[in-house]
């Protein structure tokens, strides 16, 4: 089980126990009321409304991406803020949610992935927080790519290959070996030989005497 999935489970369990086991006085909703409110149309922002708000660059409309940072880097809705679910209750995140004049829309890979964080924030009194219909995968499946931020590759393999090729060529040229000049082999030395003197037979020597 991934760490992100565990984080979502923890948030859902925390939200459930918060409302089911003797909620403090400032919690105004029961667990059942909260669960029923998930399906209310007023708590869900349609893809068309989200696209229109992004196109018009509304400053009072904030998209919050609950997915892992690496998923956010691969592609996200234009103008979205990355707040992974496990960092939902950090002071920096709550500073954003404290802006009650803005409509804050949560989304994960799918709509259900944002239910736990949404339930928790609503129980804490953030009534201006809503859910994005269908989530990120639903946006992609609906082919509403006009309001998706351009996806950037984590690694530009083509550029890396070109750079490595250029560096390799430079390295080859830097250590280029110049072949030595060809040498002509010296002519072999001729050894002159003297023929041996003929040896006279012994009989001839006696006759001479």
pLDDT at 174: 75
Short-list 15, 91, 100, CA closest to 62: 100
Is residue 119 within 8 Å of residue 37, measured between CB atoms?
Answer: no
* Token couple for 78: 């234009």
Query: CA angle at residue 119 from 118 to 122, to 5 degrees?
Result: 85
* Token couple for 23: 């909620």
Quickly tell me which residue has 């068309």 as its tokens: 48
pLDDT by residue for the chain (209 residues), tens digit each?
A: 554 554 545 455 555 444 444 444 445 567 677 777 777 889 999 999 999 999 999 999 999 999 999 999 999 999 999 999 999 999 999 999 999 999 999 999 999 999 999 999 999 999 999 999 999 998 887 655 455 555 544 455 566 667 778 877 787 777 766 566 666 666 666 555 566 666 555 555 555 54
User: Which CATH architecture group holds 3-147?
Assistant: 3-Layer(aba) Sandwich (3.40)
pLDDT at 74: 92
pLDDT at 100: 92
Three-state SS sequence of 34-45: HHHHCCCHHHEE
pLDDT at 182: 60
DSSP string for residues in the chain: --HHHHHHHHHHHHHHHHHHS---TT--S-HHHHHHHTT-GGGEE-HHHHHHHHHTT-TTEEEEE-S-HHHHHH--BTT-EE--GGGTTSHHHHHHHT-TTSEEEEE-SSGGGGHHHHHHHHHTT-TTEEEETTHHHHHHHTT-GGGBPPP--S--HHHHHHHHHHHHHHHHHHTPPPPPPP-PPPPPPPPP-PPPPPPPPHHHHHHH-
Cα–Cα dist 138/134, whole Å = 5
Computed over its alpha carbons, how large is the radius of gyration of the chain? 43
Short-list 84, 92, 98, CA closest to 127: 98
């Amino acid at each position: 089980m991934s760490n992100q999935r565990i984080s979502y489970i923890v948030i859902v369990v925390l939200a459930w126990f918060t409302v089911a086991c003797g909620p403090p006085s400032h919690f105004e909703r029961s667990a059942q009321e909260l669960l029923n409110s998930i399906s209310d149309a007023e708590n869900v922002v349609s893809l068309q409304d989200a696209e229109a708000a992004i196109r018009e660059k509304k400053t009072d409309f904030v998209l919050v991406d609950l997915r892992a940072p690496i998923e956010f880097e691969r592609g996200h809705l234009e103008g979205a803020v990355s707040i992974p679910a496990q960092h939902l209750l950090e002071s920096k995140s709550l500073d954003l949610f404290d802006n009650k004049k803005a409509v804050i829309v949560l989304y994960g890979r799918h709509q259900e992935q944002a239910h736990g964080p949404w339930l928790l924030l609503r129980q804490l009194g953030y009534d201006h927080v809503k859910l994005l219909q269908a989530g990120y995968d639903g946006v992609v499946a609906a082919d509403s790519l006009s309001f998706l931020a351009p996806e950037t590759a984590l690694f530009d393999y083509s550029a890396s290959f070109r750079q490595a090729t250029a560096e390799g060529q430079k390295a080859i040229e830097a250590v280029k070996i110049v072949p030595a000049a060809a040498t002509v082999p010296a002519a072999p030395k001729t050894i002159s030989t003297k023929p041996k003197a003929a040896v006279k037979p012994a009989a001839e020597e006696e006759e001479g005497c």
